[in-house]
Structure 1
């Protein structure tokens, strides 16, 4: 990149306002007048304000006669007859800029048209733009772009350049730069070039959505973790292709891989990011690890999971094969998407094509950092919102994914999430959309944030329920805080709320959500300590008691109203050896431990049976809050004990009454059962069976220490 030497700077901050910054070493920062020059035309600038800064004088001037046209070359001349080029400043963050340059076409990026390859890029402030193509034989050639309407640049190459590498060269504020197209569908090894690929008509189709998100059981999984361990029995360890291996098992014959997922009974696998990310290279010899929350190119598959990362088509085929292989087992795929930030703002294609537009800035004009990773994507701006919506639809249509999980959704705005829901419903009505609705410190008005506080505005979008997590497990941010399952009594009122979808069961009770499908219930995820590691750190109890607590918490996740969410390996007490944030820890910390899966197969079978029980009766996954309020009663007459009664629910499944009992005390106690016909026990906290374990003929049962029960009749 060239560095331009300027005596002073001039910035266009609105279409009628130009700000000059004159350093004190330049005529003491003084000037009495400025003139705007375009070719032979000269326009007087009116000085509105003069503001002393630490090392310069700031002048705010206005253009009275006309509005400035972006993409044209202007200069500013001061009284000393010194010229400087007019740079694009804060004008790009004005409402007028957004409206004037919004482009609603669906052809940004690369398009094939009858033997012609068309490249389109949005950059209203560029004054020139060129395309650099590199042939498979390493020959490079450049083509000029033509400026079209709404800030779009177009380059038509009258040839089929499939397989060529390409970059974009924009000239902005007199500086030429080189970027990869942000809409690139494929990138070269280590993301150095965009790749021209002709995908034609895709065969990928999503599975039909379930009748309600509450029918789902979500299993969160990382591509590499799934198969990295040698004992996994999979050949393509750590790679996309491991998901296509059938019938894999441990050396002792316990199922692993996709067969294991099928047997477990989950309905959806949520894949941690599979788009191109930083933190690892594409080299097979690179042993570094990263979850994938450092997004580089949002529409291109990650290379480090590929057997041939240098082949863009192979990456695409392999990722599509992951999705198809899961679909073949009737497992739907939720894609974890990270539209809230980019890896490094200054190096991103967005920032280089339209500096300052795609990222939020605070009142001082500095980039905001609500994400904690250096930048916040400005989803509320029209072309930023368009990129997100376009990208979501691309994954839906090209790869056939079945839903999306939005990382740090609280950074995004309500309007963008609403637009995504509307556009997704045109393609796949009822597809699952869920997100992290944390209230983050980003400069959006509070009512515009797509967070938990505004859940009522986000119809059809589920949110991770931190009320549920903290009530059942304990605070994520206080290692020693204990929830109900960890033995904390006097939380029973809160437990009642979260077990029933967090909708507010009683008349007048304010819930977190309007409908149970808005509540994603969980006690652990890839973030923070696993439940097992938290308990090992904060509980001074023997392992058998800890296992009982872990099973109690997992049981409450599976049998609560809302959407149950399991972290991969949770069903066999997943541990990351005490590491709280393992995003870049070695693979031996992050990989699924299939030996542990063998060791705790009894717990795996227990969780599998609980999932079958949930699936077998619609009352355990009611679709509406009205049905929950009509049929569910919760009582908690003593600490550490919750009694959930489902009555008159035969229209929704095989039983007319269901009784759930959750007991977190370390002492056994007697518990009276409702009178009437005898009960059948489906689960006693150790074992579970959808067809029943045994009949209960007495009028009460002895609740074992730290236990749960499912009784039906």
Structure 2
């Protein structure tokens, strides 16, 4: 990029408003007239307002014509000085959006053996060149691209360009910038250039998995690709890679199943993979040196090369990711893709900012980039071409890689219209595709009623949101590690615990819930973020016997799985996963982050218990009620001493198994004898030691003894 020296500056801030900034060092910041000159244009500007700033005088001028974006103009003052007219705040106006929205589906590269067409949306550019080369040591070819309607630049090269590397040179405000194609679907190592590929050579066979009847039928298990296999006893050969994660029938040091086979046999329906689109933080040529979760997005439509066996081969990461997805599908499990459309790694280096400066990122009232994400930039999803990009990208992953759902990181940064557009687009392929997201209320300059957060869930039907009310009520505050929730014995959370177990839709005296429908509530107590539940337990109660902590952990995890809504488990949660007390391990070493298969082997009794709870949920649809009306009608809470919870699930019709199921929850350190709803023979599905969809014992009478820190599930 070439730096331009200017004595003063002029900006197009609206389609017909030009702002001129004269520094006091330049004729004391004074000029009584300005003119606009360009090709076939020479006319005066009408000064509307003069504002004294700290280091300059700002002149707001009205132009009698609309300067044509993509053309070069100069502004002259009364002293004979001149400067180029730069693109200013006009880029963020609704007029700009409506003038330059491009609805075509052909941005990026369209390749055949005979020709390749390149298209780039760059409405504020005055010139664009395609930079093309095959070998790193050869002199690149430069092609002038042609401007068409809506600011789309294009060129057709009539030869086979498979495996050619390319970038775009874009001239804006007299400065040349080089950028990778935001729509690139293949990259060189570490994402330095886009690569032209033949989509036929990147295809792979795929297996479809069974469709969900309702979102609440899902049980989500969150995994980091590298964490799954890096432990010395994972049994995987190709550790830390797509292919390593795809290995089936792997065994631990004790000969017990690990990896995909293990996850499938837990009984979960979906694996949610932490971000695998191209991200910064790990050198693809030296991946063992660094670790990263993947929330540093750079290129959105290409798999990251740090998980590939050969990151220098543009096809390799594509085909190996498809092999992983296919291997998961072969197990009968769906794949949810964690997507990070709310920010980029570094705004100034992003292709978005280089190609259309100021457009794709949200700015505050002072014209500075906003920072609701906490990483220096927020994607302006409300802008039409930013929204289009997100929808296009989601549909690319859906159609090309056959994923089964999307988890939106920091979804509260995005706007409700964008998330609705995503849901509607995905529905054209399959309405059973899961969409969930983090609906936190973040400090970004978007009107409160437009944020895609929990407060606006009524505008987001068909989109699940991580339920922090559930999380903090059951385990205690995530941000106060010493705060204990209901499952840890704090009766202050009793009423909240009842509400969240009922899907957070509002029951009893609470007529309105956090959500309209249970399918919007993603229930969890642990994820990749923050401390694991085990670490919170150890830190908040360091002198407690580990046997008690394990009971509390088991109880809390079971409550996730038996609550109405969509249950979400962090990988390893079922065997007391620890990160050695580190809460934010996004770049901690493998030894902190990996799934410890020795720890799993040592806690198989708890794994089997959680498998049993999952089996109970999947075998009885009354734990998966699809709407709020059924929850209110079929789920009734019992009168029990504080802080016990008991509820009956009735009108059971599936499989003809049961007329009624009762769940008791005892978070205390004491035994409690409680009365049942009737004196009859009851089948036990879960107690303090065992859980199974098939009864493993029976009790007679109208009372049952609840053991400390446990639950009891009975059926008749």
In structure 1, the residue matched to 2:124 is: 125
- Counterpart-to-counterpart distance in 2, 1:149 and 1:68: 16
In structure 2, the residue matched to 1:91 is: 90
* Structure 2 SS opposite 1:389: helix
C-alpha deviations, 1:223-278, integer Å up to 9, x for none?
00000111101101111001321210012111101110111111000000000000
- Counterpart-to-counterpart distance in 1, 2:641 and 2:659: 26
- Counterpart-to-counterpart distance in 2, 1:305 and 1:486: 38
Moved more, 485-494 or 546-555: 485-494
In structure 1, the residue matched to 2:144 is: 144
In structure 1, the residue matched to 2:405 is: 403
In structure 1, the residue matched to 2:344 is: 342
Contact residue 673 and residue 704 of structure 2 kept, 8 A: yes
* Structure 1 SS opposite 2:44: strand
Q: Does structure 1 residue 378 correspond to structure 2 residue 380?
A: yes
In structure 2, the residue matched to 1:253 is: 255
Q: Does structure 1 residue 277 correspond to structure 2 residue 276?
A: no
In structure 2, the residue matched to 1:173 is: 173
- Counterpart-to-counterpart distance in 2, 1:261 and 1:285: 25
Q: Are residues 151 and 676 of structure 1, via their aligned partners in 2, closer, same or farther at CA, if it must alter by over 3 Å?
A: same
In structure 2, the residue matched to 1:234 is: 236
Contact residue 205 and residue 401 of structure 1 kept, 8 A: no
C-alpha deviations, 1:602-654, integer Å up to 9, x for none?
11111111111110011110111111111110135322210011122134652
In structure 2, the residue matched to 1:427 is: 429
* Structure 2 SS opposite 1:708: strand
Q: Does structure 1 residue 644 correspond to structure 2 residue 643?
A: no
In structure 2, the residue matched to 1:198 is: 198
Q: Does structure 1 residue 53 correspond to structure 2 residue 50?
A: no
Moved more, 245-254 or 324-333: 245-254
- Counterpart-to-counterpart distance in 2, 1:528 and 1:137: 43
- Counterpart-to-counterpart distance in 2, 1:340 and 1:608: 35
C-alpha deviations, 1:482-534, integer Å up to 9, x for none?
11001101322111110010011236621011111000000000001000001
Q: Does structure 1 residue 554 correspond to structure 2 residue 557?
A: yes
- Counterpart-to-counterpart distance in 2, 1:537 and 1:16: 61
* Structure 2 SS opposite 1:387: helix
- Counterpart-to-counterpart distance in 1, 2:378 and 2:561: 34
In structure 1, the residue matched to 2:296 is: 294
In structure 2, the residue matched to 1:77 is: 76
Q: Does structure 1 residue 534 correspond to structure 2 residue 511?
A: no
- Counterpart-to-counterpart distance in 2, 1:686 and 1:84: 79
In structure 2, the residue matched to 1:607 is: 610
Q: Does structure 1 residue 157 correspond to structure 2 residue 181?
A: no
C-alpha deviations, 1:546-599, integer Å up to 9, x for none?
000000000000001000000000000000000010011111100000001100
In structure 1, the residue matched to 2:329 is: 327
* Shift, 1:116, TM fit: 1.2
Map 1:666-685 → 2, pairs under 5 A: 666-685=669-688
Q: Does structure 1 residue 14 correspond to structure 2 residue 17?
A: no
* Shift, 1:134, TM fit: 1.3
From 335, 347, 357, give the equivalent of 2:359: 357
In structure 1, the residue matched to 2:32 is: 32
Q: CA RMSD in A?
A: 1.2
* Shift, 1:674, TM fit: 1.7
Structure 2 segments unaligned to the other structure (5+ residues): none
* Shift, 1:677, TM fit: 2.5
Map 1:621-700 → 2, pairs under 5 A: 621-651=624-654, 654-700=657-703
From 481, 485, 488, give the equivalent of 1:483: 485
- Counterpart-to-counterpart distance in 2, 1:114 and 1:248: 42
Moved more, 410-419 or 642-651: 642-651
Q: Are residues 52 and 694 of structure 1, via their aligned partners in 2, closer, same or farther at CA, if it must alter by over 3 Å?
A: same
Moved more, 619-628 or 388-397: 619-628
Q: Work out the number of aligned pairs and report it.
A: 712
- Counterpart-to-counterpart distance in 2, 1:362 and 1:354: 18
- Counterpart-to-counterpart distance in 2, 1:584 and 1:636: 48
Contact residue 618 and residue 652 of structure 1 kept, 8 A: no
Contact residue 248 and residue 255 of structure 1 kept, 8 A: yes
Structure 1 segments unaligned to the other structure (5+ residues): none
Contact residue 130 and residue 167 of structure 2 kept, 8 A: yes
Q: What TM-score results when the alignment is normalised by the length of structure 2?
A: 0.98
* Structure 1 SS opposite 2:167: strand
Q: Does structure 1 residue 369 correspond to structure 2 residue 368?
A: no
* Shift, 1:113, TM fit: 5.0
In structure 1, the residue matched to 2:710 is: 707
- Counterpart-to-counterpart distance in 2, 1:423 and 1:20: 43
Q: Are residues 701 and 313 of structure 1, via their aligned partners in 2, closer, same or farther at CA, if it must alter by over 3 Å?
A: same
In structure 2, the residue matched to 1:215 is: 217
Q: What TM-score results when the alignment is normalised by the length of structure 1?
A: 0.98
- Counterpart-to-counterpart distance in 2, 1:458 and 1:244: 34
- Counterpart-to-counterpart distance in 2, 1:57 and 1:195: 47
Moved more, 118-127 or 697-706: 697-706
- Counterpart-to-counterpart distance in 2, 1:284 and 1:172: 36
Contact residue 112 and residue 198 of structure 2 kept, 8 A: no
* Shift, 1:206, TM fit: 4.8
- Counterpart-to-counterpart distance in 1, 2:38 and 2:366: 30
- Counterpart-to-counterpart distance in 2, 1:685 and 1:508: 31
